[in-house]
Amino acid sequence: MLIRSVETFILRVPLGGKTFYSSQAKFPERNSLLVRITTDDGIVGWGEGGQYGPPEPVASVIGDVFAPLLVGQPADRPVVTSERLYAFSRDFGQKGTYVEAISAIDIAMWDIWGKRLGQPVHALMGGAFRTSVHAYATGCYYPEAPWDRDRLLPDLEAEAATYVESGFDILKMKIGLLSVEEDMARVAAVRRAVGPDIRLLVDCNHAYNANTAIRIGRELEKFGVHWIEEPVVPEDRAGYQRVRAAVSVPVAGGEAEFTRFGFRDFLSEGCVDIAQPDICVCGGLSEFLKIQALASAFGVLTVPHVWGSGVALAAALQALATIPPQPHTANPVALQNEPIVEFDRKHNPLRDDLLVENFSLRDGRLDVPQGPGLGITVDEAVLRKYAAA
């Protein structure tokens, strides 16, 4: 079974009136870079590379650099292929676009291998600890500017309440765009809306320097927050250490880190309590296995970051199935020692429309796809509708 073709698809959906902000940027659209690898015996594998960065450079690396190396090569050995692609691009691509391109190819090759053997990817990765994963809602972003200060808190409270009503008991909200005082008022509003029993996470998207993050972390302790995500920029490992040493709120991060080498430094320097590799960013499922092994050796729970299309979510669920409780107990508790899955609740047709299958919450959980490979079917008509290139 050899690789016959490697094709890329850039998908874009403008969000129109549903535009939102994190601390870093406005999100006027959803975009995804998908790769489709076809074998000489007709098996098709899908992968996704990158998160919200521009998809064009990732498409170029796949199409112009890697595809010529892949065509005619065996299609059933993702680990070997990913190692070779990384070795090829090491001198100029240790982080960023090249690793995102490898991630997409790697995911597609696991999909092919699973389809070839008639097994779900998680079975090939060594087996599943769970068939469904406790989900958390990501929401409570910022609306489009200019902000109506009088509506900000009431709208936020109403939004937070909808997540509880739909069955979530863990909610992640965004902070970092406004002043510390305004953002703490937002956290207070969400806590007020959801009550004391909902576990609340906050995501700064690296908005702060370490001293501001520490000030905020101490405020968050009062609201019973269960993690503070990306408090400082990913390059500032000393800043991560300072935040982690100064506040009792667990520190999460890693969505902007790459490969086992990046995570080796991130973990060995004591930056985080929760490691968040993104499967479409960190090097794919092959690299995820190595990162997760490292994290477990450091006593750190891995909770993959999830963004992108339904392909990305399916890959994340396959990975999540394989994460051992960290540490083992006879009764694993979600987030405490049992991984959870990020389920972003902002409008995303690339996740909700692209696949024949549906991801829907059942008792607060998402099922791990059980079909061969990633266990998903891309709807080619929807693919054409959103394909910009």
The least distance separating Mg ion from the CB of residue 316, rounded to whole angstroms, comes to: 13
The least distance separating Mg ion from the CB of residue 172, rounded to whole angstroms, comes to: 8
Total site size for Mg ion, rule CB under 5 A: 2
Applying CB under 5 A, which part among 35-43, 44-52, 196-204, 307-315 lies near Mg ion?
Answer: 196-204
Q: Rule CB under 5 A: which of 353-372 touch Mg ion?
A: none
Applying CB under 5 A, which part among 26-34, 71-79, 201-209, 310-318 lies near Mg ion?
Answer: 201-209
Tell me the CA end-to-end span of the chain in Å, nearest whole number: 28
Question: Of the two residues 203 and 338, which places its CB atom closer to Mg ion in the complex?
Answer: 203
Residue 257 binds Mg ion, judged by CB under 5 A: no
Question: Of the two residues 114 and 254, which places its CB atom closer to Mg ion in the complex?
Answer: 254
Closest residue to Mg ion using C-beta atoms = 203
Among residues 215, 156, 154, the alpha carbon closest in space to that of 180 is found at 215
The least distance separating Mg ion from the CB of residue 253, rounded to whole angstroms, comes to: 8
Helices 310-321 & 284-297 angle (0-180, nearest 10): 40
| Region of residue 284 (phi > 0: left; psi between -120 and 50: alpha; otherwise: beta) | left
Question: Of the two residues 9 and 141, which places its CB atom closer to Mg ion in the complex?
Answer: 141
| Region of residue 140 (phi > 0: left; psi between -120 and 50: alpha; otherwise: beta) | left
Strands 132-138 and 170-174: parallel
Question: Of the two residues 86 and 307, which places its CB atom closer to Mg ion in the complex?
Answer: 307
Catalytic residues: 305
343 Cβ contact list (under 8 Å, min separation 6): 135, 136, 137, 138, 168, 306, 359, 361, 366
Among residues 224, 142, 229, the alpha carbon closest in space to that of 186 is found at 142
Question: Of the two residues 59 and 204, which places its CB atom closer to Mg ion in the complex?
Answer: 204
Strands 132-138 and 341-344: parallel
> Per 3-state DSSP, what percentage of the chain is helix, strand, and coil (rounded to 5)?
40, 20, 40
The least distance separating Mg ion from the CB of residue 331, rounded to whole angstroms, comes to: 29
The least distance separating Mg ion from the CB of residue 66, rounded to whole angstroms, comes to: 27
Q: Which of residues 100, 106, 183, 203 is near Mg ion by CB under 5 A?
A: 203
Please name the amino acid found at residue 271: C
Q: Rule CB under 5 A: which of 212-241 touch Mg ion?
A: 229
Residues near Mg ion (CB under 5 A) are 203, 229
